[in-house]
A and B are shown apart, each in its own frame.
Chain A
Amino acid sequence: MLEINNLHVKLEEDDKVILKGVNLTVEAGKVHAIMGPNGSGKSTLSYVLSGRDGYEVTDGSATLDGVELLEMEPEERAAAGLFLAFQYPVEIPGVGNMTFLRTAVNAQRKARGQEEMSAGEFLKVVREKAKALKIDAEMMKRPVNVGFSGGEKKRNEILQMAMLEPKMCILDETDSGLDVDAMKLVADGVNALRDAGRAFLVITHYQRLLDHIKPDVVHIMADGRIVKTGGPELALEVENNGYADILAEVL
């Protein structure tokens, strides 16, 4: 589904090279995890895939179902089925959470040539999905992420994901700032979305999220490259021994 080949990326501003040849293939129906020390390029990878400004791709490609992502605008990538759950969800004062969600859902439907969802239908679906994530009506009325706790923000990301039904979901440190109960809630939300036509790329520092969202494949990223790939046991190895041993072995 997602195919990244030899991806090289530098910061536009100070010419700093961040990604130095990332190769990664995520198949439909699978959950891949990326772990790695701070500064290894994990978040940059997620931003570059979703189309954030400030990065320059100097080489390589990234395709979603064979279509080149890197030449698309961010909204086109979203309409193509890519979703990034942000590490730091953005606060947007003045835009109601419900309005935001409905605008996004209908914009994507429009881009795909589908009919817009009626207000009634939308409300019904959103209520049901919000309930599962313990997001109350009050939170839906508030401006996007404004005054939300860390946990509320992350749950709100998962709600967006559930409403938009993307085929390729990237979760960027969705576990950061979450207590155990909130992490369980978020993981349940993610697991409910797992199916044969959808793939996940879970970026995390810690094994504990992977206890709840069981990965099929684990990658270790360091210095802008995927340096090791293995099964779920690789995450446990990191948890027990840190990155030093793995890095010493591969670098």
Chain B
Amino acid sequence: MAVAQAKQDALAARLAGLSLPQGGWSAPARAEAQARLASMGLPGKRDEYWRYTDPTTLTAAQPTPAALFDAGDETPLFDGIDRVRLVFVDGVFDPTQSDDPVAAGVEFLSAGADIHWAQGLYGVLEARGQSPVARPLAALNTAAATEGVLIHVTGRAARPINLIYLHKSESSDAILHHCVKLAPGAELTLLENGPAAARFNKVLEVEVADGARFHHIRAQGRDHERRAVTHIFARLGTGSLFKSFTLTANGVLTRNEAVLELTGDDAVAHVAGAAVGDGDFHHDDTVFVTHAAERCESRQVFKKVLKNGAVGVFQGKILVQPGAQKTDGYQISQSLLLDETSQFLAKPELEIYADDVKCSHGSTSGAIDETALYYLRSRGVPLRQAQSLLVLAFLAEAIGEIEDEAIAEDIRARLEAWLGRHGA
């Protein structure tokens, strides 16, 4: 189908604002991505997949400026975790603030070689993820990313790798593309935190080989006006495990897509998110899980706390392909609406082509439980503390997807701090 002229123009304007990388090992993948992009065009407001989230500011030629968030003297997230810190400032790696990437086995997208292991991964999972639903902003990322990490894990990584995204310029426009390849039996924890830029487009491609384990925990920055579109593309081998958790607090626009493909038997994929928004906040979780093998388990757990007109979106799908018997799929999306002006829009979907599967899904919106609030207060817990307890309780199932207790505790503390600032 021909792309409408308006979309072509928008794409041309967007590309004109970028300096596309030339040459190197990733050149063929970038060229293919650009061709995909040309055939899709950038997403528009009328696209079904963007029905609940207006992509205009994500596709515009220039980013909308975003003021910086002042966290005061707050302890940085994950500070107590022994980890490898790699810092990006407005999307540009800053070696002076970072630990030694070489010692941690981390390479960069800008690696000059003509041949690289990441050729089998860069843009490959993204391209697979373009069907049945187009994800043009991910193709744009593959074509245009200038920075990102390439991590090939062959054993059990000694320490988590922490990508820290600082936002210093109010009009920055960052595009990062990371590739993580886990060899059979390997294990890695990847931590990400920070707002990154006024506008941030990030792709993470993860190949989880047989028996490998990947843990991903991220906290998106709290700059109120920042905008972000992120994609995770993961392919899971036999008996492998993938677990991803995202905390989103603030952000005028966030679209987090996760495209997970369970291609080996007995694989486990969990993707979870806790989002808290007050006022001008629009958060969209879009998830597509494909079961293409037997006895795999997938869980989607998404919880949102919304107040003062904040908007939450969930589009989640479980696709069970023919032959993917004994699939165990679970999907829950819930919102806690703290007032009547906030809204939650959910579109849960199941598409099943195997006859011996277990799939469940649920979606709810509700207010804070007044009876529970009264009960807590009757025991002497002050109103705001009681509300915080109930909000954290609501989010508990999502946070429970984080296996490492110290990391989970950090996330909880960050949430409590947010609740303290926002009076709920």
Whole-angstrom CA separation of A91 from B390 in the bound complex:
12
- Complex interface: chain A residues within 8 A of B380 (CB): 75, 78-79, 104, 107-108, 111, 164
Interchain CB contact under 8 A, B371 and A104? no
With beta carbons under 8 angstroms apart, the residue of B369, B378, B389 that contacts A74 is: B378
Which A residues, 89 to 108, have Cβ-Cβ distances below 8 Å to chain B? 89-95, 99-100, 103-104, 107-108
With beta carbons under 8 angstroms apart, the residue of A53, A86, A92, A93 that contacts B376 is: A92
Whole-angstrom CA separation of A107 from B396 in the bound complex:
22
Whole-angstrom CA separation of A68 from B397 in the bound complex:
41
Interchain CB contact under 8 A, B378 and A95? no
Indicate if B381 sits at the interface (CB-CB under 8 A): yes
Indicate if B393 sits at the interface (CB-CB under 8 A): yes
- Complex interface: chain A residues within 8 A of B390 (CB): 92, 94-95
- Complex interface: chain A residues within 8 A of B397 (CB): 94
- Complex interface: chain A residues within 8 A of B376 (CB): 92, 100, 104
Which B residues, 356 to 399, have Cβ-Cβ distances below 8 Å to chain A? 369-372, 374-383, 385-386, 389-390, 392-397
Interchain CB contact under 8 A, B379 and A164? yes
Interchain CB contact under 8 A, B389 and A103? yes
- Complex interface: chain A residues within 8 A of B379 (CB): 78, 100, 104, 107-108, 160, 164
Least CB separation from B391: chain A residue: A94
- Complex interface: chain A residues within 8 A of B374 (CB): 51-53, 74, 90
A52-B374, A92-B372 known; A103-B385 Cβ under 8 A: yes
Whole-angstrom CA separation of A111 from B377 in the bound complex:
13
Interchain CB contact under 8 A, B385 and A107? yes
Least CB separation from A84: chain B residue: B378
Indicate if A204 sits at the interface (CB-CB under 8 A): no
- In whole Å, how far is A211's beta carbon from the nearest beta carbon of chain B? 28
A79-B380, A84-B378, A92-B376 known; A53-B394 Cβ under 8 A: no
Least CB separation from B377: chain A residue: A74
- Complex interface: chain B residues within 8 A of A107 (CB): 379-382, 385
- Complex interface: chain B residues within 8 A of A74 (CB): 374, 377-378
- Complex interface: chain A residues within 8 A of B377 (CB): 51, 73-75, 78
Indicate if A44 sits at the interface (CB-CB under 8 A): no
Q: How many residues of B contact A (CB 8 A)?
A: 24
Interchain CB contact under 8 A, A51 and B385? no
- Complex interface: chain B residues within 8 A of A83 (CB): 378
B interface footprint on A40-52 (CB within 8 Å = 1, 0 otherwise): 0000000000111
- Complex interface: chain A residues within 8 A of B386 (CB): 75
A78-B377, A84-B378 known; A92-B383 Cβ under 8 A: no
Whole-angstrom CA separation of A73 from B379 in the bound complex:
11
Whole-angstrom CA separation of A138 from B395 in the bound complex:
22
With beta carbons under 8 angstroms apart, the residue of A77, A84, A94, A111 that contacts B393 is: A94
Whole-angstrom CA separation of A224 from B36 in the bound complex:
76
Size category of the binding interface on chain A = 20 to 34
Least CB separation from B370: chain A residue: A53
Interchain CB contact under 8 A, B372 and A90? yes
- Complex interface: chain A residues within 8 A of B372 (CB): 90-92
- Complex interface: chain A residues within 8 A of B382 (CB): 73, 75, 107, 111
Which A residues, 7 to 39, have Cβ-Cβ distances below 8 Å to chain B? none
Whole-angstrom CA separation of A32 from B381 in the bound complex:
27
Interchain CB contact under 8 A, A104 and B370? no
- In whole Å, how far is B389's beta carbon from the nearest beta carbon of chain A? 6
Among A86, A93, A94, A95, the one with the most B-chain Cβ atoms within 10 Å of its Cβ is A94
Interchain CB contact under 8 A, B393 and A50? no
- Complex interface: chain B residues within 8 A of A100 (CB): 376, 379, 389
Whole-angstrom CA separation of A12 from B20 in the bound complex:
66
Whole-angstrom CA separation of A66 from B341 in the bound complex:
43
With beta carbons under 8 angstroms apart, the residue of B370, B383, B389, B394 that contacts A73 is: B383
A73-B377, A78-B377, A111-B380 known; A93-B393 Cβ under 8 A: yes
Whole-angstrom CA separation of A160 from B397 in the bound complex:
26
- Complex interface: chain B residues within 8 A of A95 (CB): 389-390, 392-393
Least CB separation from A161: chain B residue: B379
Whole-angstrom CA separation of A91 from B379 in the bound complex:
14
- Complex interface: chain A residues within 8 A of B389 (CB): 95, 99-100, 103
Whole-angstrom CA separation of A93 from B394 in the bound complex:
8
- In whole Å, how far is B252's beta carbon from the nearest beta carbon of chain A? 29
Whole-angstrom CA separation of A77 from B393 in the bound complex:
25
With beta carbons under 8 angstroms apart, the residue of A50, A92, A93 that contacts B378 is: A50
Least CB separation from A108: chain B residue: B380
Among A51, A52, A79, the one with the most B-chain Cβ atoms within 10 Å of its Cβ is A52
Whole-angstrom CA separation of A89 from B385 in the bound complex:
20
Interchain CB contact under 8 A, B381 and A94? no
With beta carbons under 8 angstroms apart, the residue of A52, A86, A104 that contacts B381 is: A104
- Complex interface: chain B residues within 8 A of A75 (CB): 377-378, 380-383, 386
Interchain CB contact under 8 A, A90 and B394? no
A75-B377, A75-B383 known; A90-B392 Cβ under 8 A: no
Least CB separation from B396: chain A residue: A94
- In whole Å, how far is B291's beta carbon from the nearest beta carbon of chain A? 29
Q: A92-B375, A94-B392 are in contact. List 19 more A-B contacts (CB 8 A).
A: A51-B378, A53-B370, A53-B374, A74-B378, A75-B377, A75-B380, A75-B381, A75-B386, A84-B378, A92-B376, A93-B393, A94-B393, A95-B389, A99-B389, A100-B379, A103-B385, A107-B379, A107-B381, A160-B379
Chain A to chain B: the 4 pairs with minimum beta-carbon distance, closest first: A94-B393, A78-B380, A108-B380, A74-B377
Taking beta carbons and an 8 Å cutoff, which residues of B are in contact with A?
A: 369-372, 374-383, 385-386, 389-390, 392-397
27 contacts between A and B (CB under 8 A): A51-B374, A52-B374, A52-B378, A73-B382, A74-B377, A75-B377, A75-B378, A75-B380, A75-B382, A75-B383, A77-B378, A78-B377, A78-B379, A79-B380, A84-B378, A90-B375, A92-B390, A94-B397, A95-B389, A95-B393, A99-B389, A100-B379, A100-B389, A104-B376, A104-B379, A107-B385, A164-B380
